[in-house]
Amino acid sequence: MQIRTTNAHVRDAAYAMPAALFMALLFALPLFSVLHQSLQQENGGGLTIQAYAKIFTTPLFLRVAYTTLEVSISATVFSLLLAYPIAYFLAKQSPRRRALYMILVLVPFWTSSLVKSFSFMVLLGQSGIINQMLGAFGIAPVKMLFNRFGVMVGMSHFLIPFFVFPILTSLRSQPLELAKAAAIMGAGKLRIFLRVTLPLSLPGVMAGALLVFILSLGFYIIPALLGGRQDMMFANLVDFYTREALNWPMASAVAVLLVAAAALAAMLLSKVRGGSSILSEEGH
């Protein structure tokens, strides 16, 4: 990194000002008011940590926290298994074809979650298209909706693009000579992948995993529409305390903890090699 003058720093800061102001007004300020709300007593009065004390002794919160972690981790693994081959395939294409295929990767990303969830009901339901096809072969209908499987399908459909891009960056930054050198030394294709390509792409995998995990923590509509009775996540709990229980200090406290968890994961992201490729332009 080159040495910069103070003037350049001031100039760069000026470029960031509009965005910083925008975020301060529309993100930091409301977030502060949520934090403030979480420290209120249920029936008014002074500041208190009552809501937090109640949260950590409520079995409902502990169960939902467990479910949120479980769903987020499995969605991350499920998406990785589907995204890695896509990234690998994309890395091998000519730039023109890659651009075309990347649009295909992004198409589901541009469709509303709500619309997609209803489409999954048509596809995966007991009388859905897939079960009708299975029925034609005399196979009994498989329950694919309103359970954890439905949640996984819905979530990974949304999350895959977030995984593909960091992995693709990692794969493309590998010097082609490395694979060639390994081949000259007599390694087979599988061995080259396992010993050279895969290890070198791990920073991209880690970065993607953290990003996808952070996004998963906040899922709301997909678990509500495609999940079963046990698939209640943090955001659904916030909704419950806001609209059904009308207990806003509790709703705010859950929201604060959710933001804290996401912030913690984001800090980890900045520490991982390859994570920087998402958080700044210095990687690639």
Q: Which stretch binds other proteins (CB under 8 A): 84-92, 153-161, 163-171, 237-245?
A: 237-245
Please give the distance of CA 115 from its chain centroid, rounded to a whole number: 19
Residues 210, 269 contacting (CB under 8 angstroms): yes
Answer yes or no whether residue 63 interacts with other proteins by CB under 8 A: yes
Please say whether the dihedral angle defined by the alpha carbons of residues 148, 151, 157 and 161, taken in this order, is positive or negative. negative
DSSP-derived 3-state class of residue 47: strand
- Going by C-alpha positions, the residue among 68, 29, 1, 83 that lies closest to residue 257 is 68
Answer yes or no whether residue 41 interacts with other proteins by CB under 8 A: no
Residues 252, 258 contacting (CB under 8 angstroms): no
Q: Which stretch binds other proteins (CB under 8 A): 52-60, 152-160, 175-183, 200-208?
A: 52-60
Q: What is the dihedral of CA 47, 53, 59, 62, to 10 degrees?
A: 90
* CA 220/CA 211 separation, integer angstroms: 17
In terms of CB distance, is 217 or 232 closer to other proteins? 232
State the number of binding residues for other proteins (CB under 8 A). Answer: 23
Residues 67, 200 contacting (CB under 8 angstroms): no
Q: CB 11 → other proteins: shortest distance, Å?
A: 41
* Pair of tokens at residue 245: 């229980």
In terms of CB distance, is 54 or 98 closer to other proteins? 54
State the residue for tokens 């502060």.
32
Answer yes or no whether residue 213 interacts with other proteins by CB under 8 A: no
Answer yes or no whether residue 67 interacts with other proteins by CB under 8 A: yes
Site string for other proteins, 167-206 (x = CB under 8 A): ----------------------------------------
In terms of CB distance, is 122 or 263 closer to other proteins? 122
Answer yes or no whether residue 33 interacts with other proteins by CB under 8 A: no
Answer yes or no whether residue 246 interacts with other proteins by CB under 8 A: yes
Answer yes or no whether residue 37 interacts with other proteins by CB under 8 A: no
* CA 164/CA 205 separation, integer angstroms: 9
Q: CB 246 → other proteins: shortest distance, Å?
A: 6
* CA 280/CA 274 separation, integer angstroms: 10
Q: Which stretch binds other proteins (CB under 8 A): 56-64, 107-115, 178-186, 265-273?
A: 56-64
* Amino acid (one-letter) located at 30: P
State the residue for tokens 């709500």.
114
Site string for other proteins, 109-148 (x = CB under 8 A): ------------x---xxx-----------------xx--
Answer yes or no whether residue 243 interacts with other proteins by CB under 8 A: yes
* Amino acid (one-letter) located at 100: L
Which backbone phi and psi does 171 adopt, to 5 degrees? -65, -40
Q: Which stretch binds other proteins (CB under 8 A): 109-117, 208-216, 235-243, 275-283?
A: 235-243
Answer yes or no whether residue 69 interacts with other proteins by CB under 8 A: no
Q: Which spans of this chain sit near other proteins (rule: CB under 8 A)?
A: 58-60, 63-64, 67, 121, 125-127, 145-146, 224, 229-230, 232, 240, 242-247
